[in-house]
């Protein structure tokens, strides 16, 4: 699922998400190419598919640190 960069940046700004890397403290980062899906752990006897969290990866251009921000939940 491709990222809507304008939407993601506006959501980050609206929620006061800083742009300083947690690892190296630089402010030079980018979004990954896609939204990633992370399934919840599920009981092996469950009859329905596991719900997933969709996350937007951000990558520090200086040190490569990756962090995920919630995009949506199913």
φ/ψ region of 64 (left if φ > 0, alpha if ψ in -120 to 50, else beta) reads: left
* DSSP secondary structure letters along 24-65: T----EEE-SB-EEEEPP--TT-SSPPPEEEEEEEEETTT--
Record the tokens describing residue 44, joined without a space.
Answer: 């092996």
Task: Tell me what pLDDT residue 24 has.
Answer: 95
If pLDDT is split at 50, 70 and 90, which confidence band does 17 have?
confident
Tell me: the pLDDT tens digits for 18-71? 778 889 999 888 887 788 888 876 666 667 766 788 888 888 999 999 988 887
Given a contact cutoff of 8 angstroms between Cβ atoms, the answer to whether 33 and 3 are in contact is yes
Which of helix, strand or coil describes residue 68?
strand
């Amino acid at each position: 699922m491709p990222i809507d960069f304008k939407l993601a940046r506006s959501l980050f700004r609206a929620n006061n998400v800083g742009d300083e890397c947690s690892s190296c403290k630089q402010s030079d980062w980018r979004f990954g190419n896609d939204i990633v899906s992370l399934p919840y752990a599920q009981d092996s006897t469950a009859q329905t598919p596991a719900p997933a969290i969709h996350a937007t990866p951000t990558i520090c251009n200086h040190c490569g640190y990756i962090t995920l921000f919630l995009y949506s939940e199913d």
